[in-house]
Copies of this chain bind each other. A is one copy, B any other.
Amino acid sequence: MTQSNEYTMRPIGVIHSPFTDQAQTPIQPSRSQAIGQVEVYPEFAEGLQDVDGFSHLILLYVFHRSSGFTLTVKPFLDDQTRGLFATRYPCRPNPIGLSIVRLTEREGCRLTIQGVDVLDGTPVLDIKPYVPEFDAMDGVLIGWYGLRSKA
């Protein structure tokens, strides 16, 4: 059974980052100290109320420079081919990226964030508060990532 439904997403903002070259971009926020900014478009500004109270935000964004996908890939940190959904590889059927970043300041529609791992100009689809009760898991097994060939 294949679903024929389609969903159209429109950016609510854009990420400003120091990275303009994919090869120089950190692969995850936890491996980046880079500072960037989320510029939320003015029509969504009101939705940022209360965001300041959270130290960490979940950003959902478009891997806008990715194109197409294959269902098996060689991840950045491994030499073996893995199933795409067992990786965070950017080329995906729905190229949605997820990063958890530290929020250090908010000035109106501009959020200053630490731990930027995306390209400059990345379109933002959603911002959610990071809540350990929902998002921090215990007793986690990490499959191939625990056996990967690169640190």
Bound complex: CA A54 to CA B146 (Å): 10
The range of chain A's interface size is: 35 or more
A24 within 8 A of B: no
**Copies of this chain, how many?**
2
User: Which one of B7, B44, B47 contacts A9 once the chains associate, using CB atoms below 8 Å?
Assistant: B7
A52 within 8 A of B: yes
- For A1, the chain B residues whose CB sits under 8 A away are 14, 41
- Contact at B7–A62, with CB atoms within 8 Å? yes
Beta-carbon contacts under 8 Å, A130-144 to B: 130-137, 139-144
- Contact at B60–A98, with CB atoms within 8 Å? yes
- Contact at A126–B11, with CB atoms within 8 Å? no
